[in-house]
Amino acid sequence: PIYLDYNATTPVDERVLAEMIPWFSQNFGNAASRSHLYGWQAEEAVSVARVQVAKLLGAGEKDIVFTSGATESNNLAIKGVFEAFGKEKNHIITIATEHKAILDVCTHLEQFGAKITVLLPDTDGLITTAQITEVIGANTLLVSAMYANNETGVIFPIEEIAKVCREKNVFFHTDATQAVGKLPINLRNTPIDLLSLSAHKLYGAKGIGALYVNRNNPRLKVIAQMDGGKHERGMRSGTLNVPGIVSLGKACDLARLEMSANQEKLSFLRNKLEQTILSMLENTSVNGGNAPRLAHVTNIAFGGVDGEMLLGNLKNIAVSSGSACTSASVLPSHVLKAMGINDDLAYSSIRFSLGKYTTEEEIDFTVNHVVEVIEKMR
């Protein structure tokens, strides 16, 4: 099938793979080995990667903590700040359309005394800074709001939210897993305290990511969630995944150089896909369609078709549906539900996420396939 699920994961770019391979068996040293060349080489590779990641974000390399991915980064950010300050301030604000790696962390912290406010977005999946300002109180410790949504591609007004939080003396974390390498991010001009990212969403390896921890905010403290050998300046112990880190660095480097060309091509292909489908099929709409969106994502609701059958019928394309399989049961997407979309329409919504290897032929094929399947089902 044609792969249009790049928001789930991306293939490793061949140039990234070529950089990471020697670090498995040829240069296999432990980056924490200080007494010999094997260790020094690995340490050097890690510091090159750290600079590459920092450069893409407009951050300092000392602000980058390597983790196993965005799930871990989100856990470290939110639990780490709560453990450091939870006795003084226990209120955390987040949004109903966040990834489970945010929402479930917040729920977890409730048993340790956290008070969680989950804001509801409008029907386009957006929230305003005013909504956040309204719920910030003297007890508010942290706001966590994603940069761009993984299901709809909706982009949040992160710079504005960050500024409001800074003014109110509240820490600000953003899950930027879907935005890094897709949108220009400059942390030098934006008062973001913590930012999560993951390599496998930008053509790097799986199981590697980073948390940006803003060292220019002297108030910020993050308690490690993994104790041990005090790697990553004590913020994340454990022998560094050198090949993974090298892959993340190279992926960030390529993204920095190629982002604008990729996004230009992707927005053309995404618009073609979306507009053609909408013009050929009635009772079809774009979830989050009126909000600013990532150029490579479209989430389309196909009215009047059975959602359970839809994905099975679209067997020539690899996409994901507006529902999530949680162990045995299939539930409508919590993101679409939070936007006020009813269960039926959430079930019959499809996320198409394109990537840099997507071709126009694939898009043309997809349009025909989708139109044929939907017409047959109706």
- Give the interface with ligand PMP as residue ranges (CB under 6 A): 69-71, 99, 101, 146, 150, 175, 177-178, 198, 209
Which residues 6+ apart lie within 8 Å of 191 measured at CB? 162, 163, 165, 166, 172, 214, 217
Shortest Cβ 304–ligand PMP spacing (Å): 29
Shortest Cβ 259–ligand PMP spacing (Å): 18
Judging by DSSP bridges, how do beta strands 2-3 and 320-321 pair with one another? Answer: unpaired
Report the C-alpha gap between 113 and 56 in whole angstroms: 37
Question: Which residues is 351 bridged to in the sheet?
Answer: 299, 320
**Containing H/E element for 321?**
strand 320-321
Q: Are 25 and 248 in contact (CB under 8 A)?
A: no
Neighbours of 27 (CB within 10 A): 17
Nearer to ligand PMP, 57 or 281 (CB): 57
Residue 165 falls in the annotated catalytic set: no
Catalytic residue among 106, 165, 252, 325: 325
Shortest Cβ 351–ligand PMP spacing (Å): 11
Nearer to ligand PMP, 178 or 214 (CB): 178
What's the angle, vertex CA 63, arms to CA 58 and CA 69, rounded to 5? 95
Nearer to ligand PMP, 209 or 332 (CB): 209
Nearer to ligand PMP, 150 or 299 (CB): 150
Shortest Cβ 349–ligand PMP spacing (Å): 17
Question: Which residues is 93 bridged to in the sheet?
Answer: 117, 143
Active site residues: 325
